[in-house]
Amino acid sequence: MTEVLIQLSQNWPVWLWNMALILFSFLIGILIKMLFIPLLRRQAIEQSSYSLFRSFIRRFNRILSVFIPLLVFNSLLPFAHFNARTLQVVTKINEILLVSFFALALIQAIKVFEDYLYHRFDVNKENNLRERKVRTQIVFIRKVVVTIIIVVALAIVLLSFESMQKIGAGLLTGVGVGGIIIGFAAQKSLGNLLAGFQIAFTQPIRMDDVLVVEGEWGKVEEINLTYVVVNIWDKRRLVLPITYFIEKPFQNWTRTTAEILGTVFIYTDFTIPVQQLREKLTVLLAGHPLWDGQVNVLQVTDIREQTMEIRCLMSCRNSGQAFDLRCYIREQMIDYIKSNFPDALSKTRVDYTAKEIKA
């Protein structure tokens, strides 16, 4: 094969031979793209189930259509008839592109592995505590590894230039003093990074954890290297530095389990029959799909000057269902009281007896 290429390069004009090598490399890319198109269409039709092959096709369809032609062109470059200056420029550009696309290929390979782990640890199940633990670690480790790959690839590209190598040697000479200065300047960023590692493995928070933080209720949407995004219930996003969850107190409603108790407070007159309310609560909960069947309690928890405080306590599988069930019980209990015990609604009493005696 090598002898055939050498013979062809000698028989063809220089410009035509160089153009043929470039066109051949582009043709390889077009053929790869044409091969991926039907696979991508098939993938779009079969989105319902996970497949490692489909994940590979989805992640690599653009990268391989450029990366493989670059490899082919790099292997054919010794047979090209460029002058010394042009060959140096073309080689350098090809080298930079190869390093860049190789780094992208590594990143996409990590994402393929991440897709597999997401399928293996599916969070769309009811009791997903273990899955959320693993997914939190997966997300953070992926971001750290991707950052390292990008930094290393950038360093390789920069160090391929002689001027950058001289600068690097000069920087290494003053690395002692420079390291101290950089350490002081970047201590907050390094603190955030270390806090990220601590959160990823000790996990005071996880992906999809329900938090009450800064007086807001929401779910953990993103855990990045230096900050956390909490999706507030009304679709706002609360962005907090990652060190916040190491240094300050907050409520985590799904730390060990998503199960939670819901409460409804009703204020009525003293004359209401509590036992009948207790029976009504049992009937309402028994017929509702959001109740998990564990806790069903109605108690008089306080007596004030004019009202009696009644607390309805119920258990749910998660906080979202608890909120909906509490609203339902509150509405139904008030309707029941209005229909059956209208005189037992909270009221203000005025005693005219003393005034009549004086009159």
pLDDT digits 0-9 by tens, 263-318: 999 999 888 999 999 999 999 999 899 998 899 999 999 988 888 999 999 999 88
Using CA of residue 115, residue 152, residue 136, residue 239, what is the dihedral sign?
Answer: negative
Range of the domain at 298: 260-344
244 and 268 share one domain: no
* Span 327-343, average pLDDT: 92
Boundary (domain end) residue, out of 256, 281, 298: 256
CATH code of the domain in which 299 resides: 3.30.70.100
More confident residue, 295 or 198: 295
Q: How far apart, in whole angstroms, are the C-alpha atoms of residue 131 and residue 111?
A: 18
108 and 170 share one domain: no
112 and 149 share one domain: no
Left, alpha or beta for 211 (phi > 0: left; psi -120 to 50: alpha)? beta
52 and 109 share one domain: yes
- Identify the H or E element spanning 275: helix 274-286
Boundary (domain end) residue, out of 256, 285, 315: 256
Residue 247 domain-assigned?
A: yes
Contact 96, 123 (CB under 8 A): no
160 and 103 share one domain: no
CATH code of the domain in which 212 resides: 2.30.30.60
282 and 252 share one domain: no
197 token code pair? 């590692």
116 and 148 share one domain: no
**Predicted local distance difference test score (pLDDT) of residue 1:** 52
Q: Give how many domains the chain has, as a whole number.
A: 3
Residue 351 domain-assigned?
A: no
Residue 352 domain-assigned?
A: no
pLDDT class of 68 with cuts at 50, 70, 90? confident
Q: Which of 23-37, 167-181, 281-295 has the highest mean pLDDT?
A: 281-295
Q: How far apart, in whole angstroms, are the C-alpha atoms of residue 32 and residue 35?
A: 5
44 and 113 share one domain: yes
Above 70 in pLDDT, residue 187? no
Burial of 16 (0-12, 13-18, 19+ CB in 10 A): exposed
Q: How far apart, in whole angstroms, are the C-alpha atoms of residue 12 and residue 243?
A: 66
11 and 96 share one domain: yes
Boundary (domain end) residue, out of 211, 227, 256: 256
286 and 209 share one domain: no
Q: How far apart, in whole angstroms, are the C-alpha atoms of residue 25 and residue 13?
A: 19
Name the amino acid, one letter, at 63: I
Q: DSSP labels for 106-146?
A: HHHHHHHHHHHHHHHS-S-SSS-HHHHHHHHHHHHHHHHHH
Q: How far is CA 129 from the centre of its chain?
A: 15
Residue 106 domain-assigned?
A: yes
* Span 196-220, average pLDDT: 86
What is the C-alpha end-to-end distance of the chain, expressed in Å?
Answer: 126
Lowest mean pLDDT among 114-123, 164-173, 209-218, 257-266: 164-173
6 and 116 share one domain: yes
219 and 314 share one domain: no
Question: Long-range contacts made by residues 8-12, C-beta under 8 angstroms, separation at least 24?
Answer: 9/79, 9/80, 9/81
**CB contact set of 155 (below 8 Å; sequence gap of 6+):** none
Instruction: Write down the mean pLDDT value for the chain.
Output: 78
The edge-to-edge listing of strands for the beta sheet with 210-213 is 237-241, 227-232, 216-223, 210-213, 251-252
- Judge if pTM exceeds 0.75: no
